[in-house]
Amino acid sequence: MIFSSELIKGTFRTIVLKLLSDNKKMYGYEITQKLKELTFDKIQITEGSLYPTLHALESEGLVTTETEFIGKRVRKYYSLSPAGKIKMKEKISEFADFMNTMQFLLDIKTKTA
């Protein structure tokens, strides 16, 4: 099952920040592939939402960039800035709180081993 884009929308920035935190530096295509791999294709992000988000994160100073020339094309690597690390922790904590509230609100029983 692939999660709907409505579900992913609100957490997309958090996902990107976390991926960049776990990997030293990543480029756009790599981010999409990594996400597919980690979620067993359940989360598939479109290029239409990835690049606008990456540009916004860059302009907000949450990620830093470096470029590498590959023949005639340029590859842009993104990595987390110190401000991005703080933001990522805030976002994850906020999301964890949100999940707890939703579990209670929707009466979702967590699986126990």
Identified binder of another protein from the candidate list 4, 6, 40, 74, rule CB under 8 A: 74
CB neighbours of 4 closer than 8 A, spacing ≥ 6? none
Tell me the closest approach of the beta carbon of residue 17 to another protein, in angstroms. 15
Nearest 5°: CA angle at 22, between 37 and 57? 95
Identified binder of another protein from the candidate list 2, 9, 10, 56, rule CB under 8 A: 56
CA distance 67 to 91: 27
Please tell me whether residue 6 binds another protein under the rule CB under 8 A.
no
Please tell me whether residue 51 binds another protein under the rule CB under 8 A.
yes
